[in-house]
Amino acid sequence: MNLDELSRQKYGRSLAELDDATVYQLLMSVVSEKSAELPLNAGKKRLYYISAEFLIGKLLTNNLINLGLYDEAKQQLAEAGHDLNKVEENEVEPSLGNGGLGRLAACFIDSMATLGLPGDGVGLNYHFGLFHQKFVDNQQTTMPDGWLDREGWLRDENTSFTVEFGSFSVTSKLFSIDVLGYERPKKNRLRLFDLESIDDSLVPDNSIGFDKTELKKNLTLFLYPDDSDRNGQLLRVYQQYFMVSNAAQLIVKEAISRGCNLHDLAEYAVIQINDTHPTMVIPELIRILTEDHDIAFDEAVSIVRSMVAYTNHTILAEALEKWPLEFLEEVSPKIAAIIKKLDELTRAEFDDPAVQIIIDGKVHMAHLAIHYGYSINGVAALHTKILEESELKPFYDIYPEKFSNKTNGITFRRWLMGCNPELAVLLDTLLGTEWRHTGDVSGLLKFADDDEVLEQLAAIKDDAKQVMRDFLKFNQGAQVLDGSIVDVQVKRIHEYKRQQMLALYLIWKYLDIKNGNIPERPITVIFGGKAAPAYVIAQDIIHLILTLGEWIANDPDVAPYLQVIMIENYNVTAAERIIPAADISEQISLASKEASGTSNMKFMLNGAVTLCTIDGANVEIAELVGDDNIYTFGASSDEVVKLYADGSYNAHAYYLKPGIKLLVDFITNPQFMATGNAERLQRLHDDLTSKDWFMALLDLEEYIQEKELVYSDYEDRKLWLKKSLVNIAMAGKFSSDRTIAEYNDEIWHLQADK
Q: Which residues bind ligand GLS (CB under 6 A)?
A: 99-101, 104, 275, 313-314, 319, 379, 408, 594-598, 616
**Are 309 and 404 a contacting pair, CB within 8 Å?**
no
User: Which residues make Cβ contacts (< 8 Å) with residue 257, sequence separation at least 6?
Assistant: none
The SS3 call for residue 172 is strand
- Smallest distance from the beta carbon of 589 to ligand GLS, in angstroms? 8
- 81: phi > 0 → left, psi -120 to 50 → alpha, else beta; which? left
Check if 491 is active-site.
yes
Check if 661 is active-site.
no
CA pair distance 295, 340, nearest whole angstrom: 19
> Shortest CA distance to 515 belongs to which of 459, 561, 446?
561
Burial class (CB in 10 A: 0-12, 13-18, 19+), 705: exposed
| Diameter over CA atoms, the chain | 80
Query: Where is 187: in which H helix or E strand?
Result: strand 187-195
- Smallest distance from the beta carbon of 634 to ligand GLS, in angstroms? 16
- Smallest distance from the beta carbon of 101 to ligand GLS, in angstroms? 4
Minimum CB distance to ligand GLS smaller for 218 or for 598: 598
- Smallest distance from the beta carbon of 595 to ligand GLS, in angstroms? 4
Q: Residue 512 has what DSSP assignment?
A: H
The SS3 call for residue 42 is coil
- Smallest distance from the beta carbon of 515 to ligand GLS, in angstroms? 37
- Smallest distance from the beta carbon of 709 to ligand GLS, in angstroms? 26
The SS3 call for residue 81 is coil
Q: Of residues 602, 707, 723, 733, which has the active-site annotation?
A: 602
> Shortest CA distance to 62 belongs to which of 418, 482, 351?
418
Distance between first and last Cα of the chain: 25
Task: Give bridge partners of residue 175 from the DSSP assignment.
Answer: 156, 192
Minimum CB distance to ligand GLS smaller for 176 or for 599: 599
- Smallest distance from the beta carbon of 719 to ligand GLS, in angstroms? 30
Minimum CB distance to ligand GLS smaller for 332 or for 618: 618
Task: Using the Cα atoms of residue 687, residue 688, residue 690 and residue 692 in order, give the sign of their dihedral.
Answer: positive
Task: Using the Cα atoms of residue 232, residue 228, residue 93 and residue 111 in order, give the sign of their dihedral.
Answer: negative
CA pair distance 426, 416, nearest whole angstrom: 11
**Are 611 and 710 a contacting pair, CB within 8 Å?**
yes
C-alpha 739: how far from chain center:
16
- 144: phi > 0 → left, psi -120 to 50 → alpha, else beta; which? beta
Q: Of residues 74, 497, 498, 680, which has the active-site annotation?
A: 497
Q: Of residues 469, 491, 707, 733, which has the active-site annotation?
A: 491
Check if 171 is active-site.
no
CA pair distance 543, 680, nearest whole angstrom: 7
Check if 723 is active-site.
no
Q: Residue 40 has what DSSP assignment?
A: B
| H-type alpha helices, 608-695 | 618-625, 637-646, 651-655, 658-666, 670-675, 678-690
The SS3 call for residue 229 is coil
CA pair distance 537, 320, nearest whole angstrom: 20
Minimum CB distance to ligand GLS smaller for 500 or for 689: 500
- Smallest distance from the beta carbon of 661 to ligand GLS, in angstroms? 31
Minimum CB distance to ligand GLS smaller for 474 or for 644: 644
Q: Residue 146 has what DSSP assignment?
A: -
Query: Where is 191: in which H helix or E strand?
Result: strand 187-195
Task: Give bridge partners of residue 445 from the DSSP assignment.
Answer: none
**Are 617 and 596 a contacting pair, CB within 8 Å?**
yes
User: Which residues make Cβ contacts (< 8 Å) with residue 411, sequence separation at least 6?
Assistant: 106, 107, 110, 111, 114, 735, 736, 737
Query: Where is 456: in which H helix or E strand?
Result: helix 451-476
Burial class (CB in 10 A: 0-12, 13-18, 19+), 452: exposed
- Smallest distance from the beta carbon of 500 to ligand GLS, in angstroms? 17
Q: Of residues 142, 311, 598, 632, which has the active-site annotation?
A: 598
The SS3 call for residue 64 is helix
For the annotated catalytic residues, the residue numbers are 313, 491-492, 497, 598, 602
